[in-house]
Amino acid sequence: MSKKILVVDDEEDIRKSVQKILEINGYDVLTANDGDECLKKAEEFKPDLILLDIMMPGISIDEVVKQLKNIKIAFMSVVRISDARKRGLCSQDNIMDFFQKPFNVNDLIDRVELILNEYQT
């Protein structure tokens, strides 16, 4: 069975783009447009990986991350990883990677594959 990935971003175009990229590469993709929806869908569908935008309206990202301790997370953001680190976002064990927007499609696929394979072993 193919792996499930939840893509969370408040921008529809980004959601759709990432969804398409991942689907073509054989993943099952769900999307959510904010933190609340993300938590709800994570609970419901138990995805293998969540691609999570750092800056979204609504519930704070720290809160979202705190409640998702058992699912692998990779951040996507226009800010740099150093800024995210400064906010203390990267301290949890289940945070696997950081995709700097705009990302390279091949790079995204390679790294997602790596994360999911690591998870298996």
Partner 1 sequence: MNKDKINFKNLILSKINRKLTLLFIIVGFVAPALAIYYFYTISIESFAVDITNDQTNLLRTIAAGILILIAIDAGFIGFLISKTISKPIKELCDATHKVDKGNYSIRLETKSCDEIGELANAFNKTTANLAKIREERQEIDRAKTEFLSITSHELRSPMTPMKAQLQMLIQEYFGKLSKDQKKSLEIIMRNADRLDNIISDFLEISRIEAARLKFNFQETDIAQIVEETIDFMKAFAKEKNIKLTTQIETLPIIEVDSGRLSQVLRNLVNNAIKFSERNSKIEISTKLDKDCILFSVRDYGCGLTYENQIRIFEPFYQVESAARRKHGGTGLGLAICRGIVESQNGNIWVESKPSKGSKFSFTIPLEPVRDIKPIKVLFSNKNTIERKIKEEFKTVLGPLGQYEFDELKNKNAIDKNELEGYINFLIEKFIISNKCGEDFKSRINKIFGNEKDIINNNYDSYSEYNKGELSI
Q: Specify the stretch interacting with partner 1 by CB under 8 A; choose among 39-47, 75-83, 89-97, 113-121.
A: 75-83
In whole angstroms, how close is the CB of 74 to partner 1 at the nearest point? 15
Angstrom CA distances, 64 to 40, 85, 86, 95, 108, stand at 11, 16, 17, 12, 22
Sites for partner 1 among residues 22-61 (CB under 8 A)? 24
Q: Specify the stretch interacting with partner 1 by CB under 8 A; choose among 15-23, 26-34, 42-50, 59-67.
A: 15-23
In the chain, the amino acid numbered 85 is R
In whole angstroms, how close is the CB of 107 to partner 1 at the nearest point? 10
Q: Is 91 in the site for partner 1 (CB under 8 A)?
A: no
Q: Is 16 in the site for partner 1 (CB under 8 A)?
A: yes
| Beta strands 4-8 and 72-77, pairing class | unpaired
Angstrom CA distances, 42 to 8, 100, 105, stand at 10, 23, 24
Inter-residue contact 3 to 30 (CB < 8 Å): no
Contact set with partner 1 (CB under 8 A)? 11, 13-14, 16-18, 20-21, 24, 78-79, 82, 101-106
